Structure 1
């Protein structure tokens, strides 16, 4: 990470593309892209196909630093190449886009209305490899389903404990405590989450800076204190199951928050599209998400 890269992420205009579907969610991502499970018989074949999909996205004309600040990668993507370069190097050198790496190992069983991250004993080794691959930052996801303060406290505590490990490795952690959009007490969960995040942010040293990836709140600008916090490089929003149009409209209501969309970015892409059709669909998605990230109501 360089000062120039940090400046790009802190003050640049654009959004973060989430291309980090992992082993469990890869079959659905491929199916949505028009590649059925009958197209592959092994995990290696599956990962080959999803890397082809991601390569097609990343090498498309619309995918560059004009609209996109960063891209979140899966571990397999980090270790593979695009046009002869490791993916992160291609993003940095050919696209001007900062590479992030998904580092969590998935979700534990629900308890106290939340799902913590599974244990990750190999994280130090993964962070070492991330540095070798010129990764800028990381991302890790927990899920909040109920406005249970004890559960939310546990989520935030775990996220910050792991974030400190990531900071010590010289990378910028994206802390992602997702609030389920179908939660019946979503707004209440978001208020508790904000309080807990502020408590932990206030305890960080002036040398430690993190990013937050949050569900777009029910109440516009509910996370403004987080956006303005000196220890927060950027607050980014996940689409969380909203349509692209719905997510964009909600995002526009939140000053200082930019997108980090996955399904909402790739929903209109299909393996059977011509290059012209594919590029046009991606261009439209990129421009609409960029507009929602930089132009507020």
Structure 2
């Protein structure tokens, strides 16, 4: 485990860029970027196009370590290269940006008010490959739809069970139990979620470290006590469907909470922009998210 990267993630100013759209969400990401479904006829072509998009973002001078601490990658992206280096190596060696890998395989049907993660096939193999490709940590997402205490406990239990295995493999897990921003009892869900997270953190051995990726809370600074836990490297926030301006405004009201945005980061980028337009637009987004993260 890279000590320099742990210090950077724990104490650095900036945010995490989520560039981890999976097979299911890639068509929407490409459409937002201005590439329609009719532009490709199979998965290979689709992933080629999205890698070109991600490569353009990562290579942009706007995408730099002054503002960005880390970047979350999709499996396909981890296995691809930028200028002859695996993406994770390029991020760290050329940009000083810490690489993470999305490892979850999507969600199960809703039960007890939550969507648990599907089983992660060949988890040991994926973690071994991530270590070999110099990835620092992983990310896995599940979703809370209702304030159901049994469902929320099951989500947190599942996340921490896998997180222990990830840490033992030599990686830092990002635990992401997202609370749906449209939930009618979002605030109550957040209370139940924090109780279960604190229970799990108290059960970890002294050396185990995790990160938490959470929806921006209804009550400002609600997750401050999680940030102070000795097991927690960093607490980051997902945009969760908010527009960039909404997400930034809410984030800025939460001291110590930093962004890990995807759609809110990329929302104004298009394939038809000139390099100058693209870099200027990306820089504008990055600056605004950075300011909200360090405020």
Q: Deviations over 1:177-217 (max 9, x none)?
A: 00000000000000000000000001111100100000000
Map 1:59-98 to 2 at 5 A. 59-98=59-98
2:269 aligned with 1:280: no
Residue 180 (structure 1) aligns with? 180
Q: Alignment partner of 1:260: what SS?
A: strand
Q: Which runs of 4+ in 1 moved over 6 A?
A: none
Residue 235 (structure 1) aligns with? 235
Residue 212 (structure 1) aligns with? 212
Structure 2 spans left out of the alignment, 5+ residues: none
Map 1:133-148 to 2 at 5 A. 133-148=133-148
Report the alpha carbon displacement of residue 2 of structure 1 after superposing the two structures with TM. 1.3
What TM-score does the superposition give when structure 2 sets the normalisation length? 0.99
Q: Alignment partner of 1:235: what SS?
A: strand
Structure 1 spans left out of the alignment, 5+ residues: none
Q: Deviations over 1:48-105 (max 9, x none)?
A: 0000000000000011110000000000000000111100000001100000000001
Q: Deviations over 1:145-173 (max 9, x none)?
A: 00000000000000000000101101000
Residue 127 (structure 1) aligns with? 127
What TM-score does the superposition give when structure 1 sets the normalisation length? 0.99
Map 1:1-297 to 2 at 5 A. 1-295=1-295
Q: Distance in 2 between matches of 1:79 and 1:150?
A: 38
Q: Distance in 2 between matches of 1:196 and 1:255?
A: 22
Report the alpha carbon displacement of residue 121 of structure 1 after superposing the two structures with TM. 2.9
Q: Alignment partner of 2:141: what SS?
A: strand
Report the alpha carbon displacement of residue 227 of structure 1 after superposing the two structures with TM. 1.1
Q: How many residues align?
A: 295
Q: Distance in 2 between matches of 1:69 and 1:193?
A: 26
Q: Alignment partner of 2:41: what SS?
A: coil
Q: Distance in 2 between matches of 1:290 and 1:246?
A: 14
CA RMSD in angstroms comes to 0.5
Q: Alignment partner of 1:65: what SS?
A: coil
Report the alpha carbon displacement of residue 255 of structure 1 after superposing the two structures with TM. 1.1
Q: Distance in 2 between matches of 1:116 and 1:270?
A: 33
